[in-house]
A and B are shown apart, each in its own frame.
Chain A
């Protein structure tokens, strides 16, 4: 079941481009990573999805409803955390549960207090006395408390300590298992890699890659290290095509390959080596290549 879809979604701010021709889909139970550096268009896309901004062209729908004209109905089943969380200074978590319960028309106090406890949030501390991380926790708890069908998070881990980041990741995984969909925007690859099934990379307002994470990993370079019995043998190392020697230090060679390591294994079996280690796919390098302005991977491939 498609929870979210966009069709040629575009938005410009006068002469300044916001996002251009965004085409996305998100299925039920999917955890979707929306990756890109600051200013790439992640927040603009999210604001279009939530009906804050009117599209210049194209359309977006969530749960079959148009994101602009039916925005308020969509939000019954959506939980949202803004990139830069700002809340009312007088608001406490407890008071927020009361107000949000009245607006949503469902008692949420009990679930809210459970989540607050899980996120170690003081329910009676007003926002004006909270640290940035605690404000972020209030926003997260309010976004998750009604168990929405779709959770849209715009860089939600900023300000959270590693422990709370792990708690959030656990929460989101549990929700995904229960069939809730997660739209997770971030500029940090590692957290997307840990959590998401599918990733779209946005650059200058356009989607440059939208792929399953496993498929993306097959495109990512891997580093292998081979230790020969002596430096002379290492210097004569000639790997098969597709695998390149990036560095030789004494008896140790560092090789770079892309995708599966079967070819490397076959070749290594015929070599006189003492040790071999093959690292995981390095998505970070791939990600950096997407953003290499001088040599964009998207245009090469």
Chain B
């Protein structure tokens, strides 16, 4: 396992640092700017009424039911840039095995070594978890440092942020598990990323449409975003146990299925 982890680190260290520090900077900037923009939410929505459904779709509840501080805290963690950075890292990482290795022709070398496919899969998963925690941790740090400079009435409740980040990590696991499964079927990395990107996009749109279109509401449970509601965590001041559990089960089931497919399929560069 040590040799495999060394290989993974050699390959992903720079992208992970770029994504991690990028997320830290973005969350830091958002933490500093969003309170100024959202301080007078009522006036903003009066001036730009079309923003209301967008906010509702992003957070899963009407923004006018939240105080400016709550709104800021919820909005930060559902911001498309934040999710895009995390998902971009996920798709790049989880498509490495087996799709990426087959695509670049190195799978022959890798499978020529005395390692079981499960062990390879586990090593990649370990790398995936460590890099995910690193990136989200760096992002959280950027947010945390910036909150020290906010006006006291806008400083978020730290425990609630921890709950939100935990829910975000569960989303990370679910998307990662599904992405590992997609990759295990693919021989081309681009295809694996493309399929997963389409799934995320559909998931995002489904969540958005469900706010205005009745038929979409019935299938909104299929959207990952349905189980990630920072605004509700803030309002209820409780850990989203059910959502986290659902996301973890989705991720774990898909991950196991991906491992079984990878173990059983024929793999080579032909």
Query: Which of the 9-residue segments A42-50, A232-240, A273-281 touches chain B?
Result: A42-50
Q: Tell me whether B6 and A99 are in contact (CB under 8 A).
A: yes
Residue of B nearest to A82 (CB): B108
Q: A47-B270, A52-B266, A52-B268 are in contact. List 20 more A-B contacts (CB 8 A).
A: A54-B266, A71-B111, A71-B116, A72-B114, A72-B115, A72-B116, A75-B113, A75-B114, A75-B115, A82-B108, A82-B112, A86-B106, A86-B269, A88-B10, A88-B11, A88-B106, A95-B10, A102-B6, A103-B4, A139-B109
Q: Tell me whether A80 and B266 are in contact (CB under 8 A).
A: no
A73 to B117, CA, bound (A): 11
Q: Tell me whether B3 and A102 are in contact (CB under 8 A).
A: yes
A71 to B264, CA, bound (A): 12
Interface code A33-69, partner B: CB below 8 Å = 1, 0 otherwise?
A: 0000000000110010011111000000000000000
Does A87 sit within 8 A of B, measured CB to CB?
Answer: yes
Interface code B133-148, partner A: CB below 8 Å = 1, 0 otherwise?
A: 0000000000000000
Does A27 sit within 8 A of B, measured CB to CB?
Answer: no
Give 12 A-B contacts (CB < 8 Å), ordered by A residue. A43-B270, A50-B111, A52-B111, A71-B116, A72-B115, A74-B114, A75-B113, A86-B108, A87-B106, A87-B109, A88-B7, A104-B113
A85 to B269, CA, bound (A): 11
Shortest beta-carbon distance from A80 to chain B in Å: 4
Does B36 sit within 8 A of A, measured CB to CB?
Answer: no
- Contact check: which of A88, A98, A99, A103 meets B114 at CB < 8 Å? A103
A43 contacts which chain B residues (CB < 8 A)? 270
Residue of B nearest to A99 (CB): B3
B7 contacts which chain A residues (CB < 8 A)? 88, 99
- Interface size of B by Cβ–Cβ distance < 8 Å? 28
Residue of A nearest to B108 (CB): A82
Residue of A nearest to B3 (CB): A102
Interface code A88-99, partner B: CB below 8 Å = 1, 0 otherwise?
A: 101000010011
Does A84 sit within 8 A of B, measured CB to CB?
Answer: yes
Which residues of chain B have a CB within 8 Å of any CB of chain A?
Answer: 2-4, 6-7, 10-11, 104-109, 111-117, 119, 264-270
A84 contacts which chain B residues (CB < 8 A)? 105, 108, 269
B108 contacts which chain A residues (CB < 8 A)? 52, 80, 82, 84, 86
B115 contacts which chain A residues (CB < 8 A)? 72, 75, 103
